A and B are shown apart, each in its own frame.
Chain A
Amino acid sequence: MSQSCAPRVRIGPRVSWRGARAKAIGWQLAVLAVAMALVATVAVQTAINLRARGIASGFDFLSRPAGFEIARGLFSFSSRESYARALLVGLLNTVRVSFLGIAIASVLGLSIGIARLSGIWIVSTVSRAYVELVRNTPLLLQLLFWYTLSQGLPAPSDALNPLPGVYLCFRGLFLPAPIWHDGFPWIGVEAPTLAGFGFQGGISISPEFAALLVGLSTYTAAFIGETVRGGILAVGRGQIEAAAALGLSRPHALRFVVLPQALRVIIPPSTSQYLNLFKNSSLSVAIGYPDLMSITNTTLNQTGQAIEAIALAMAVYLTVSLAVSAAMNLYNRATLRRGGGA
């Protein structure tokens, strides 16, 4: 019975604790209500304002023909197609450059991070210089640098021809493309040829795409390199010594002992770097790569529906970012589980 008395003794404080909790919930509800009222007021006022100023609103424009052209990449587009499709082409262009950029930045960043810890002086110094140089200059400047550099290549008529069928000039990189025939041997090769204003046929990579890809991946690689270095340093010295004692070579120790443990530290900040790369791709508007932001810009200018176009772009960037985050979290969890079992 004495046990039943004990809670009764605490009745006083518990009541006041409940009171405090009720108060806290009350405050939170009040703040939430005020915030929602504010958002609602702004939304209603904006709608009234737009109407008062005769500015059309809504998303009807998405189904109207765009009327402008987009440079041909992987995805074709003609001016008769809708704004919605133009924006989709922009999004696909963004995803394409981001996906490749993330892949290159990961490989390059891993190499840089390992190289920074190298015992060979020249390797560690060069990689350190790379990180400091790239990390401490604005990305926009670097993009313009790579783009200007691409414009310093020879003209199409004097294009560099390092391999048969491969041409490099200030109009881009031109590669032979596989083509399918009806008859034997079914597959053939179409080499680009110089005709008219430049190269026709084959696969072409525009200087805008190349500059953006190189700029984004080298920039992000510097940050990932630092993350990798930090991750490796976080692995206990004893682990490395134990690996050496077991007779593992340095590369083997790195691959089987150090990196699996370092990954746990490396993955979460790398996720932020991947998201940064994806969002930074919107800087392409400066060098003329038709990404989502560039197409949004044009759409906004042609239709005048700034609020809708920007809201749409924000929603798309948010959705893709959250998806990338979720995927990386899953990967992180899988790595942690593996690490725990080992």
Chain B
Amino acid sequence: MTMKRLWISFALVATACSGGGPGDRSAPAAATLTGRPGPATPTLDKVRGRGFVRCGVSTGIAGFSTPDAQGHWRGIDVDVCRAIAAAVLGDAEKVRYTPLTAAQRFTALQSGEVDVLSRNTTVTFQRDIQLGIEFPAVNWYDGTGFIVRKASNVRSVKDLNGATICIQPGTTTETDVADYFRRARLTFTPVVIERLEEVTNAYFAGRCDAFGQDRSALAAVRARAPNPADHVVLSEVISKAPLGPGVMPDDPRWIEIVRWSVYALINAEELGLSSKTIDRALDSDDPDVRRFVGKADGFGTMLDLDDQWAFRIVKQVGNYAESIERNITPLGIERGVNRLWKDGGVLYVPALR
């Protein structure tokens, strides 16, 4: 795994020498020369030339990005990639997925291996500013929680004083747990194992009293237990973890395309547009719906796309609720705060106007 990371680091060098990669800034001059209005669109041009979107996903996190029995990638993070492909290339299937470990993901994005990283990544100050990664939108609000054995009589995180806790490296969990225990003046012993499968097995084997992870991932861990009823996910959430797709900061138009692709999924739910009803919406009189399906105002062209971009997202991928019902609900994960603001959740995205 380290070798791959090293290799990617060298790729960073190689792309520079060949003058390619997302850092290529020769395009703006060309745009000025041809007198084309609006900003340059290097990533968009490359994606169109290539014919597919390169999307960085996880090595397998149920509900977010994981291959199904037929080898098709499924999950709400995968749906973000598919939405982008539907908007940009007209076909949600035109995505090439690159499975990345938590540790590889940022280097892969920075070196131009992927166009967008859609891999339950927590948005943090340090990743935004120091790593220089742009997070255009949030597609799932999560937080660090713990799974424990029912028999251990742990009812709350406070009961974990002196406990051994399994953690995966390369995640924000490592620092979240350390910070929480320090704040609460409690102690713990970490057992840090790189692969999700092995760290999960170590927890099941009894090596750790608790397993700390994003709460959404914990439901999948519990489902994998020999007897799920023996385990319980503690109700407390010890940190904020807004998860969202990441892109490089040097291509504003690409950032906007990713942002509005996610917004389109959520706005579609809010407007009551689903993959089943979207065809009928073409004849709607509602100005919001008419703008959404590209019948008015020409928003698609302003985004360097065609006017059908949002229509295709809903037609081919569905709206946000459909994505959740397909991927998250079957795992027994509550939608919780990830409901629309109208339904008491925190999903409140700008409208297409």
**A45 touches which of B8, B16, B178, B199 (Cβ 8 Å):** B16
For B163, the closest partner residue in chain A by CB is: A197
- In the complex, whether A9 has a CB less than 8 A from a CB of chain B is no
- In the complex, whether B205 has a CB less than 8 A from a CB of chain A is yes
Closest-CB distance, B17 to chain A (whole angstroms):
6
Interface flags for B162-184 (1: CB within 8 Å of A; 0: not) read 11100001110011011101100
Residues of A within 8 A of B188 (CB): 69
From B87-95, B127-135, B255-263, B322-330, the one touching the partner chain is B127-135
Interface flags for A280-311 (1: CB within 8 Å of B; 0: not) read 00100111101001100110111110110010
Instruction: Give how many A-B residue pairs fall within 8 Å (CB-CB).
Output: 143
A72 CA / B189 CA spacing, docked (Å): 7
A80 CA / B343 CA spacing, docked (Å): 41
- In the complex, whether A48 has a CB less than 8 A from a CB of chain B is yes
**A49 touches which of B12, B106, B130 (Cβ 8 Å):** B12
Identify which of residues 40-88 in chain A touch chain B, using a CB-to-CB cut-off of 8 Å. Answer: 41-42, 45-46, 48-50, 52-56, 67-72, 79-80
Query: Could you name 26 residue pairs across A and B whose Cβ atoms are closer than 8 Å?
Result: A42-B17, A48-B16, A49-B23, A52-B23, A53-B23, A53-B250, A67-B175, A69-B189, A69-B190, A70-B190, A71-B191, A144-B198, A170-B205, A171-B164, A171-B207, A196-B162, A197-B164, A197-B209, A198-B164, A285-B1, A288-B193, A297-B103, A298-B192, A300-B103, A304-B126, A310-B5
- In the complex, whether B225 has a CB less than 8 A from a CB of chain A is no
**B162 touches which of A56, A197, A303 (Cβ 8 Å):** A197
Q: How many residues of A contact B (CB 8 A)?
A: 51
Residues of B within 8 A of A148 (CB): 205
Closest-CB distance, B125 to chain A (whole angstroms):
12
- In the complex, whether B284 has a CB less than 8 A from a CB of chain A is no
Given A197-B164, A288-B192: A310 in contact with B131 (beta carbons within 8 A): no
Closest-CB distance, B191 to chain A (whole angstroms):
5
Interface flags for A79-115 (1: CB within 8 Å of B; 0: not) read 1100000000000000000000000000000000000
Identify which of residues 201-223 in chain A touch chain B, using a CB-to-CB cut-off of 8 Å. Answer: 207-208
Identify which of residues 147-202 in chain A touch chain B, using a CB-to-CB cut-off of 8 Å. Answer: 148, 151-152, 155, 170-171, 196-198, 200
Contact at B248–A53, with CB atoms within 8 Å?
Answer: yes
- In the complex, whether B195 has a CB less than 8 A from a CB of chain A is yes
Closest-CB distance, A145 to chain B (whole angstroms):
13
Closest-CB distance, A240 to chain B (whole angstroms):
47
Give 15 A-B pairs besides A42-B13, A67-B179, A69-B174 with Cβ atoms closer than 8 angstroms. A42-B17, A55-B132, A56-B131, A67-B174, A71-B190, A79-B182, A171-B164, A285-B169, A286-B194, A288-B191, A288-B192, A294-B192, A306-B8, A307-B12, A310-B5
Closest-CB distance, A168 to chain B (whole angstroms):
14
Identify which of residues 197-216 in chain B touch chain A, using a CB-to-CB cut-off of 8 Å. Answer: 198-199, 202, 205-207, 209
- In the complex, whether B161 has a CB less than 8 A from a CB of chain A is yes
Closest-CB distance, B163 to chain A (whole angstroms):
5
Contact at A71–B170, with CB atoms within 8 Å?
Answer: no
**B178 touches which of A68, A151, A196 (Cβ 8 Å):** A68
Most buried by A among B110, B169, B209: B169
- In the complex, whether B351 has a CB less than 8 A from a CB of chain A is no
**A301 touches which of B6, B170, B189, B195 (Cβ 8 Å):** B170
Residues of B within 8 A of A144 (CB): 198
**A306 touches which of B9, B163, B202, B250 (Cβ 8 Å):** B9
- In the complex, whether B275 has a CB less than 8 A from a CB of chain A is no
A329 CA / B291 CA spacing, docked (Å): 78
Contact at A303–B130, with CB atoms within 8 Å?
Answer: yes
Contact at A288–B202, with CB atoms within 8 Å?
Answer: yes
Given A46-B16, A49-B16, A67-B175: A297 in contact with B169 (beta carbons within 8 A): yes
Contact at A79–B178, with CB atoms within 8 Å?
Answer: yes
Residues of B within 8 A of A67 (CB): 174-175, 178-179
A302 CA / B199 CA spacing, docked (Å): 19
For A288, the closest partner residue in chain B by CB is: B193
A298 CA / B130 CA spacing, docked (Å): 16
- In the complex, whether B102 has a CB less than 8 A from a CB of chain A is yes
- In the complex, whether B107 has a CB less than 8 A from a CB of chain A is yes
Closest-CB distance, A53 to chain B (whole angstroms):
5
Residues of A within 8 A of B194 (CB): 285-286, 297
Interface flags for A3-45 (1: CB within 8 Å of B; 0: not) read 0000000000000000000000000000000000000011001
A48 CA / B182 CA spacing, docked (Å): 39
Given A45-B16, A49-B12, A197-B209: A298 in contact with B174 (beta carbons within 8 A): yes
Contact at B206–A307, with CB atoms within 8 Å?
Answer: no
Residues of A within 8 A of B242 (CB): none
Residues of B within 8 A of A304 (CB): 106, 126-127, 130-131
- In the complex, whether B249 has a CB less than 8 A from a CB of chain A is yes
Q: 6 closest pairs, A vs B, by CB?
A: A54-B132, A151-B205, A301-B170, A49-B16, A288-B193, A79-B178
Residues of A within 8 A of B206 (CB): 151, 155, 170
A52 CA / B6 CA spacing, docked (Å): 20
